[in-house]
Amino acid sequence: MTEFKPQQLDKKWQAAWSAAKAFEVDVDPSREKFYCLEMFAYPSGHAHVGHVRNYIIGDVMARMKRMRGFNVLHPFGWDAFGMPAENAAIKTGTHPEQSTLANIAHMKGQLQRLGISYAWGREIATCLPDYYKFNQWIFLKMFERGLAYRRRSAVNWCPKDETVLANEQVVDGACWRCGTTVVQRDLEQWFFKITAYAEELLRGLDTLEKWPEKVVVMQRNWIGRSEGARIRFPVAGPEPGGASPDAIEVFTTRIDTIYGATFVLLAPEHPLVEQFAAASADPAAFRARAAKLRAGDREARLTGTLEKEGFDTGRTAINPFTNEAIPIWVANFVLAEYGTGALMAVPAHDERDFEFAKKYSLPIRVVVAHGDETPSPDAMTMATTNYGRLVNSGPWNGKEAPAVMPELIRDAERRGIGQGEVQYRLKDWGISRQRYWGTPIPMIYCDKDGAVPVPYEQLPVELPKVASFTGRGDSPLAQVPAFVDVKCPRCGGPARRETDTMDTFVDSSWYFLRFADPRNAELPFDPAAAAYWMPVDFYSGGVEHAILHLLYSRFFTRVLRDVGLVNFDEPFTRLLTQGMVLKNGAVMSKSKGNVVDPDDMLQKYGADALRLYVMFVAPPEKEVEWSDAGLEGSFRFLLRVWRIVDHWAETIGGEGIPGCRTEECTESERALRRKTHDTIRRVTVDIEERMHLNTAVSSLMELVNELYSFSESTAHGAPSRGEPPAGRVERPQTIGALREAIDALVVMMSPFAPHMAEELWQMLGHVDGLSKSGWPVFDAAIAKAEEVVVPVQVNGKVRGRITVPPDAGEDRLRELALADPGVKNHTAGKTLVKVVVAKGPLVSVVVK
């Protein structure tokens, strides 16, 4: 009996893999590639079992695909820029680079101790200049194409610390450090024009067949396409002392209700508000009212409980369909960023407008009827928002919406007062961050030449090593004169560098491409390498990235396609969103003190038990509750595998054991072979297609149970039953069947428990390691049952079972079913209505 010492096996085999560079790969057009990727990690310091679950899921897939003969790229890297490191620097003075690199080293060790099969030779860290150089390169390409542009935009500003705050640093409207109320401040900032790709990003979603529906829906909602029309409402009356604004443009998706538009609403930020204020009798009072609406209550806005408020501008606009003059109001619930920042209010058929009209006694006109009656506005208690037949709509009366909408739009276009338009909720992506620990934006500002891009040959614009981390000032880099003061690349005159850095989501929007060619110094990656490895075949990570990271990555892929670096649209063919690991019902976090450190588990049970448990406990997408007892159960299963293999290793081990021919086998040998092949089929499909790793493990457990029963029935007995009888020679068929079962078991265990599997494989006398073993091949002929038990239902309840050959015909099944004693008991004295023979097989008898 050889003892199972998991910790020693972990060390032994991890060293062997590392020495053999077992997981490093190269482009090889003769082999089919498989790119398996887990979302790279933010180096927070310590990975807990929740993080680690994702890497194990990917590793099971990668190891399995490797054995299936694929050329598997399975890389890892670090999303290494970001605020936590900078915040820590502000508090402790440790430079972000120092803490980040230390964290990476520790976490890398953790992953290696788990035996995750990464191609560490391709490791990347986004905080290193050889990576972020290409963030800048891509930025410049975007700038050239008009996809990177600058405009003023609001940021959170803490007046006491005099610093910009990220949204995460604003807690309940106050600064995370000093508690001062945060104010908004306008700064010039860089944006990526993701909206230029809105339609394409939306349509591409239809091709993502192997993405969770949930994620596709979330992205679709986020992009938020609405079809409608932009209509101009002329502003009535001349300006008392100046030029009159000619019209207010509104966006509507319900042009069918336009005859019911009885007032116009402007967002408080709308430019006309200021114009109206300036022209009003008391501009200061006007502005004060608008400012009050703008301030709003941030909290109430977030929870959707903001009370609707507004005021009359005293001006009117002409509804271009009714030609009536209608009042123009300003309202706090109108969003400046969406549509045109102005809307036509149709209180009868929009709940928000209805609420507003009731509050301020504005006119309500019903223009859509359902059925014969047209409700009176006074009797209405709520808006009717569904489509119907138009009434009070002039020449359009009696027409049905939505069919009439294109006609109305055509009419507006003909009269030159508007046109059909598509709006998206998706907004351009603001990438400027007033932070140190990120990629410098490669732009230079010259008084003469304006915003000038840094020439490609001057990349990377490196982060200066010295910077003070006081947490004060608008941008830390602005305090480093050697960084800021440069010559203009165009005119050579004095100029200033951009001191903002990029949003770290830029880093993660293309890292999967970098892995194809991670040491390229000239380009982000070699297009040929990307053409071979991409797209990612299997991508897994947390659902918290369902929108931003995955949408930005799809955006970047298309930009790089248009730049000519890649030749496909979608970067991730198949996506798995793994569930979180909870402890005591809560997400693991340092602050809650409920973190399970994988290293503690490794010390106790070894890497394989932890890996197996995490895969067995639930399907990968599901949230799970951590359980020490469950881990122990998995450890016991490994012991059980170890014992049974060890028990037989000498008898069946060594190369050159002949296979066994089914026809020479006893019934129990054939049964073992059936189980073996049935397990091969199930485990293969469960890992490769269904990603039901938990049921893959349970199938393996069943095979092990079968091996114990089979052993019990041989002269050898099962493990722990004392010494086997001496001198007994087993039938070659027994040895063959066992060899087949045990070899398959060890190979199929290896994605889950690679260290133990390698050791057992060696113990079984195989000269080459598991990297050469291949994956067991399912043989339908062996798996095919010789006879099947067919349940027989009478009126839907199982009343008997018949045993037949698997190819028994329907007539034979029917005959045997009706002759079964249990069935007879329930059919005697009744009238046979019908007999259904279903595939399955199953016989269903109906009597009355």
- Give residues 267-306 in contact with RNA (rule: CB under 7 A): 267, 300-301, 303-304, 306
Rounded to the nearest whole angstrom, what is the least distance from the CB of residue 544 to RNA in the complex? 7
Q: Which is nearer to RNA, 229 or 477 (CB)?
A: 229
Rounded to the nearest whole angstrom, what is the least distance from the CB of residue 364 to RNA in the complex? 15
Q: Alpha-carbon distance 755 to 4, whole Å? A: 11
Q: How many other β-carbons are positioned within 10 Å of the β-carbon of residue 788? A: 16
Q: Alpha-carbon distance 640 to 638, whole Å? A: 5
Which residues ranging from 454 to 493 are in contact with RNA (CB under 7 A)? none
Q: Which of 120, 222, 311, 360 binds RNA (CB under 7 A)?
A: 222
Q: Which is nearer to RNA, 82 or 339 (CB)?
A: 339
Q: Which of 637, 648, 761, 778 binds RNA (CB under 7 A)?
A: 637
Rounded to the nearest whole angstrom, what is the least distance from the CB of residue 343 to RNA in the complex? 4
Q: Which is nearer to RNA, 28 or 544 (CB)?
A: 544
Gyration radius of the chain's alpha carbons = 35
Helix ranges (H only) for 447-516 are 481-484, 504-507, 511-514
Which residues ranging from 770 to 789 are in contact with RNA (CB under 7 A)? 789
Q: Which of 335, 491, 586, 715 binds RNA (CB under 7 A)?
A: 335
Rounded to the nearest whole angstrom, what is the least distance from the CB of residue 362 to RNA in the complex? 15
Beta carbons of 65 and 74 less than 8 angstroms apart: no
Q: Which of 204, 619, 653, 732 binds RNA (CB under 7 A)?
A: 619
Q: Which of 43, 58, 82, 228 binds RNA (CB under 7 A)?
A: 228
Question: Where are any strands of DSSP class E within 484-614?
Answer: 485-487, 494-497, 501-502, 538-542, 575-578, 581-583, 586-587
Structure tokens at 816: 């045997």
What letter represents residue 672's amino acid? L
Q: Which is nearer to RNA, 464 or 841 (CB)?
A: 841
Q: Which is nearer to RNA, 677 or 682 (CB)?
A: 682
**Site track 517-556 with RNA (rule: CB under 7 A), x = hit:** --------------------------x---x---------
Q: Which is nearer to RNA, 264 or 441 (CB)?
A: 264
What letter represents residue 341's amino acid? G
Q: Alpha-carbon distance 78 to 41, whole Å? A: 5
Rounded to the nearest whole angstrom, what is the least distance from the CB of residue 643 to RNA in the complex? 6
Number of residues counted as binding RNA (CB under 7 A): 91
Using the rule CB under 7 A, is 419 a contact of RNA? Answer: no
User: By three-state DSSP, how is residue 610 classified?
Assistant: helix
Greatest C-alpha distance within the chain: 117
Beta carbons of 246 and 235 less than 8 angstroms apart: yes
Which residues ranging from 717 to 756 are in contact with RNA (CB under 7 A)? 718-721
Enclosing H/E stretch for 19? helix 6-19
Rounded to the nearest whole angstrom, what is the least distance from the CB of residue 24 to RNA in the complex? 34
What letter represents residue 706's amino acid? E
Q: Alpha-carbon distance 508 to 79, whole Å? A: 7
Q: Alpha-carbon distance 161 to 175, whole Å? A: 9
How is 726-755 classified by DSSP, letter by letter?
A: TTPPPPHHHHHHHHHHHHHHHHHHTTTSHH
Closest C-alpha among 437, 443, 551 to residue 126: 437
Q: Which of 464, 630, 765, 769 binds RNA (CB under 7 A)?
A: 630
How far, rounded to the nearest angstrom, does the alpha carbon of residue 443 sit from its chain's CA centroid?
A: 32
Q: Which of 213, 373, 457, 723 binds RNA (CB under 7 A)?
A: 213
Rounded to the nearest whole angstrom, what is the least distance from the CB of residue 651 to RNA in the complex? 18
Using the rule CB under 7 A, is 712 a contact of RNA? Answer: yes
Using the rule CB under 7 A, is 339 a contact of RNA? Answer: yes
Q: Which is nearer to RNA, 576 or 617 (CB)?
A: 617
Structure tokens at 252: 């509507």
Q: Alpha-carbon distance 577 to 88, whole Å? A: 30
Stretch that binds RNA, among 90-98, 180-188, 604-612, 622-630 (CB under 7 A): 622-630
Q: Which is nearer to RNA, 584 or 825 (CB)?
A: 825
Q: Which of 48, 63, 643, 670 binds RNA (CB under 7 A)?
A: 643
Stretch that binds RNA, among 70-78, 403-411, 509-517, 628-636 (CB under 7 A): 628-636
Stretch that binds RNA, among 159-167, 278-286, 632-640, 724-732 (CB under 7 A): 632-640
Rounded to the nearest whole angstrom, what is the least distance from the CB of residue 104 to RNA in the complex? 28
Q: Which is nearer to RNA, 481 or 796 (CB)?
A: 796
Instruction: Report CA-CA distances (Å) from 775 to 59, 440, 740, 745, 766.
Output: 16, 48, 12, 10, 15
Using the rule CB under 7 A, is 18 a contact of RNA? Answer: no
Q: Which of 17, 34, 137, 333 binds RNA (CB under 7 A)?
A: 333
Q: Alpha-carbon distance 646 to 640, whole Å? A: 10
Q: Which is nearer to RNA, 303 or 381 (CB)?
A: 303
Beta carbons of 604 and 565 less than 8 angstroms apart: no
Using the rule CB under 7 A, is 682 a contact of RNA? Answer: yes
Dihedral through CA 790, CA 791, CA 792, CA 796, nearest 10? -140
Q: Which of 204, 464, 732, 791 binds RNA (CB under 7 A)?
A: 791
Using the rule CB under 7 A, is 359 a contact of RNA? Answer: no
**Site track 691-710 with RNA (rule: CB under 7 A), x = hit:** -x-xx-xx--xx--x--xx-
Q: Which of 17, 157, 251, 276 binds RNA (CB under 7 A)?
A: 251
Rounded to the nearest whole angstrom, what is the least distance from the CB of residue 455 to RNA in the complex? 39
Using the rule CB under 7 A, is 344 a contact of RNA? Answer: yes
| 537-567 CB burial, b ≥16 within 10 A, e <16 | bbbbbbbebbebbbbbbbbbbbbbeebebbe
Q: Which is nearer to RNA, 287 or 425 (CB)?
A: 425
Using the rule CB under 7 A, is 224 a contact of RNA? Answer: yes
List of long-range contacts for 561-567, beta carbons under 8 Å, 24+ apart: 562/145, 563/141, 563/145, 564/527, 565/513, 565/523, 565/524, 565/525, 565/527, 565/530, 566/513, 566/527, 566/530, 566/531, 566/534, 567/527, 567/531
Using the rule CB under 7 A, is 56 a contact of RNA? Answer: no
Which residues ranging from 130 to 159 are in contact with RNA (CB under 7 A)? none
Q: Which is nearer to RNA, 305 or 323 (CB)?
A: 305
Rounded to the nearest whole angstrom, what is the least distance from the CB of residue 525 to RNA in the complex? 31
Q: Which is nearer to RNA, 568 or 708 (CB)?
A: 708
Q: Which is nearer to RNA, 4 or 131 (CB)?
A: 4
Q: Which is nearer to RNA, 7 or 226 (CB)?
A: 226
Q: Which is nearer to RNA, 141 or 554 (CB)?
A: 554
Enclosing H/E stretch for 702? helix 693-712
Using the rule CB under 7 A, is 804 a contact of RNA? Answer: no
Q: Alpha-carbon distance 712 to 648, whole Å? A: 12
Phi/psi at 82 (nearest 5 deg)? 145, 170
Q: How many other β-carbons are positioned within 10 Å of the β-carbon of residue 593? A: 9
Beta carbons of 200 and 555 less than 8 angstroms apart: no
Q: Which is nearer to RNA, 430 or 791 (CB)?
A: 791
Stretch that binds RNA, among 101-109, 600-608, 611-619, 653-661 (CB under 7 A): 611-619
Rounded to the nearest whole angstrom, what is the least distance from the CB of residue 686 to RNA in the complex? 8
Q: Which is nearer to RNA, 167 or 361 (CB)?
A: 167
Using the rule CB under 7 A, is 832 a contact of RNA? Answer: no
| 731-755 CB burial, b ≥16 within 10 A, e <16 | eebbbbbbbbbbbbbbbbbbbbbbb
Using the rule CB under 7 A, is 199 a contact of RNA? Answer: no
